[in-house]
Amino acid sequence: MVTFHRLVSVAAPLLRANVDTDLIIPMDRYLMAAREQMHHYAFETLRFLPDGTDNPDFILNQPPYDKAEILITGANFGCGSSRESAVWALYGWGIRCIIAPSFGNIFYNNCFQNGLLPVVLPEPSVTTLAQLAGGNASPVFDVDLTRQVVTVTDGAEYGFEIDPKRRIQLLEGLDDIGVTLNQLAAIKRHRREDEIKRPWIYLK
């Protein structure tokens, strides 16, 4: 997994509450798509017109937001069914950080397994950031995981909380399996010691 330390990027405002995983990636049509292809279908119903052409009104189709790596959105982002493919689709598209007042629990946890930083801020702060992002200047945001701060162009800082273990996972580029493998020596040592104490439970 790629590490996450600091991200400097234009942010795209999509201030819409209750964006569910089916809106992010409609799995009734793309269940069998390869992980590397998921981003082609992200936000399909918002992103494309019925004839298949880009919807010019969709924020992520408009420059400079089409290159945004930060998404600012409404409460309960990623709610709905539990599908890790929603995170794959966003990450494959280039989104590395999502700022919202709240997230669907499973989506939030899946973000940390795939190197995507979900930042929770109070709703008024998210609204302010979305307004800044949507302004004529399209300011660049600086998301610093080490300091746990989002900084905007005028120097204003918005601190965010994150579970210390999750923070370390992103900083070191570790999913849950990687965290476990970091303890491999201790696991093997425990097994050797336990096999001496309880040999009858180990198949030979």
CATH number at residue 84: 3.20.19.10
What are the strands, taking DSSP E only, across the chain?
6-14, 70-73, 97-100, 117-120, 140-144, 149-151, 157-159
The pLDDT value recorded for residue 81 is 84
Query: Has residue 117 been placed in a domain?
Result: yes
**Virtual CA dihedral for 29, 34, 35, 39, nearest 10 degrees?**
-60
The pLDDT value recorded for residue 28 is 72
Tokens, residue 20: 């569910």
Query: Has residue 110 been placed in a domain?
Result: yes
Task: Report, as ranges of residue numbers, the positions in the chain whose pLDDT lies below 70.
Answer: 176-184
Angle at 127 between CA 104 and CA 114, to 5 degrees: 35
**Domains: count for the chain:** 1
pTM above 0.85, yes or no: yes
Query: Has residue 185 been placed in a domain?
Result: no
The pLDDT value recorded for residue 148 is 98
The pLDDT value recorded for residue 33 is 83
Query: Has residue 77 been placed in a domain?
Result: yes
Query: Has residue 159 been placed in a domain?
Result: yes
Tokens, residue 40: 């082609």
The strand pair at 117-120 and 6-14 is best described as unpaired
The pLDDT value recorded for residue 181 is 60
Query: Has residue 121 been placed in a domain?
Result: yes
Q: Give the structural domain span for 54.
A: 6-173
Query: Has residue 194 been placed in a domain?
Result: no
